Amino acid sequence: MSSTATPDSDLTASDVAWELDTLLTGADASTPVALVDRAEAIATELQSYEGRVAALDSGELATLMHRLEELSELLSRAGHYTSLKFSENTADPSIAAEMQQINERSTAISTRLIFIDLEWADTTDEHAATVLADPALDFCRHHLENLRKYRPHQLSHPQETVLSETSLTGASAWVRLFEEHTSAIEVDLPENLGGRVSLMSALAHLHAPDTEIRASAASAVTTALEPGLRTRAYIYNTLLLDKSIDDRLRHYPTWITSRNMANEASDESVQALIDAVVARYDIPQRWYSLKAKVLGVDTLHDYDRMASVAASDTTIGWAEGTSIVRDAYASFSPELASIVGRFIDENWIDAPVRPGKRGGAFCAYATPSHHPYVLLNWTSTTRDVATLAHELGHGVHGYLAREQGIFHQSTPLTLAETASVFGETVTNNRLLSMLDDPGERFALLAATLEDSIATVFRQVAMNRFEHACHTERREVGELSVDRFGELWAESQTAMLGDAVEVTEGYRTWWSYIPHFIATPGYVYAYAYGQLLALSVYARYQAEGDEFVPAYLDMLRAGGSMSPEALTSIVGCDLTNPGFWSAGLDIVEAQLTAATEAAHAAGRL
């Protein structure tokens, strides 16, 4: 950010924009099309392997995989350049058209090379074991091992080709429509709250201490969601059906099995996590009952859940927010703090809210030969500081794992949240150590607990909503808008109990959540990652600085080994039946700390 920034620009982070052209120039290209042209030439070369992959020796397979690595690098640069440009402004038709062109050509290239995965999966177990024993394949061994697990779910080469060819007019097309549709939603707030604003800006008012502001913002959001509700319901119905067809053709036993396989987790282990969380729904219910007393009301409404308990509504500018996060990471690891500094100082972040910009926040790893990027929608709240710390956790994870190469840089979703939640926890605890005022300590402890509730319990409640939707679509048929609302209310009420009243307007709020649309089954990974990260942080608290090298080693390992092997680096045992319960005990301890702080601050 410019040192001459005005106070307004600091509050809005209006000058904080990422630099995407390095994705092109770093590969000696002037356009994403040029990158795809080079990838297409490699694809033509690789087609000479068709019919031979299953019999390749280790040296030949390594040569093939290195060329595939080069091709994937080119397509990743082109794809990220156009998709990140689209995230900046989903309303620009020229950007959308360029992204679509790159997606279509990338899909065509991938379709030509489907035979590689299919033939590799068809090789014998004996041959695969012999080949994979060669250190020459270290850079892609885990990837190749995982591919073989999909053998029972693969279709024939012609069938896979048809599905790949039509993919851009199938699910991905509906996802793009949903993104464009929701990014265009504007909310009419009272003039004193900003007038006509984006959906993300309107939702930020739900953190306001004033109940009238929260109620007004919630009502305005519900009104803004109403016009396109039937369209979003139709999109979701279509994607539910599309997934049911794919699961049937591929012989997946449940709607979540394919996601679990991608996460390298068994259906049974995921269900154990969900059951453990549901069994502890009393934790959020106890907190919200306590919070109602703090706020001086009999019962909270859904729009009260995120209300700040701080004595005043704090506004934090970009400079102060980034300083807090830098200091927090430095308190844990100077190496991580240095990487965080590069994100902030070297235009790796796009922060301000803009018309047409994709909502929410995310980190894109891009490609191992480049750096990751972070997208935010900065509204100058304390919540934004936590989001920044969270996304930078993803960022440092992706940065450190670049050495693993394109096949192993990314972890399964179940571990993808570990570094982000850890970074957020470090930031919150760093802030806590700096506070002496009882009221401020209570506000921060309450916010920390509510982060855990949102990430563990709310995400599992959303998983239960997804489960109900996928199940009903398969067993009954298309769901009406009202039925989606009923299932949403049921799943939320099960988690909130009598502590929070789910209002009629809230029944439509499922309809702007992108995870249900773009990545079905994703949301439980947040709970998985949160509980894992809290357990990892507990080990850090017990071991101190001696823990740091092992933690960095785990991040550097990326996705080069199984989740069980990765977490064993930091002394966690995911195979222990009591692991999730131990993580939930940490969340309950957060509730205890917040309760004690409320009494100390005289709020109860």
pLDDT in tens, 14-65: 999 999 999 999 999 999 999 999 999 999 999 999 999 999 999 999 999 9
Please check whether residue 115 lies inside any domain of the structure.
Answer: yes
303-324 average pLDDT score? 88
User: What CATH number should be reported for the domain holding residue 146?
Assistant: 1.20.140.70
Evaluate if residue 391 carries a pLDDT over 70.
yes
Q: How confident is the model at residue 205 (pLDDT cuts 50, 70, 90)?
A: very high
The candidate with the shortest Cα–Cα distance to 307, out of 317, 296, 316, is: 296
383 pLDDT band (50/70/90 cuts)? confident
pLDDT in tens, 252-263: 999 999 999 999
Residue 437 has pLDDT above 60, yes or no: yes
Asked whether residue 59 is domain-assigned, the answer is yes
pLDDT confidence band for 430 (50 / 70 / 90):
confident
Structural domain count, the chain? 1
Nearest to 457 by CA among 190, 272, 322, 273: 273
Residue numbers of the domain that contains 98:
31-169
Decide if pLDDT at 1 tops 80: no
Helix (H, G, I), strand (E, B) or coil at 51: coil
Q: What does the alpha-carbon distance between residue 49 and residue 288 come to, in Å, rounded to a whole number?
A: 61
Strand order, beta sheet including 373-378: 349-352, 373-378, 362-364
In a domain, residue 197? The reply is no
pLDDT of 457 reads 98
The reported pLDDT for the residue numbered 5 is: 47
Average pLDDT over residues 479-493: 98
pLDDT 10s digits, 160-184: 999 988 988 899 999 999 999 998 9
- Say if CB 323 and CB 337 are below 8 A apart: no
Q: Is 315 among the domain residues?
A: no
Q: Is residue 452 part of a domain?
A: no
DSSP labels for 152-206?
Answer: GG---HHHHHHHHHTGGGTHHHHHHHHHHHHHT-EEE--GGGTSEEEHHHHHHGG
pTM of the model: 0.83
Average pLDDT of the residues in 87-98 = 94
Per-residue pLDDT tens digits for 284-312? 999 999 999 999 998 999 999 999 898 76
357: Cβ contacts below 8 Å, ≥ 6 apart: 87, 88, 89, 90, 183, 198, 377
**Is residue 3 scored above 60 in pLDDT?**
no
What whole-number distance in Å separates Cα of residue 68 and Cα of residue 62?
10
Burial status of residue 234 (CB atoms within 10 A of its CB: 0-12, 13-18, 19 or more): middle
- Report angle CA 262, 533, 544 to the nearest 5 degrees: 140
Highest mean pLDDT among 454-468, 519-533, 575-589: 454-468
Band (313; pLDDT cuts 50, 70, 90): low
Amino acid at 28: D
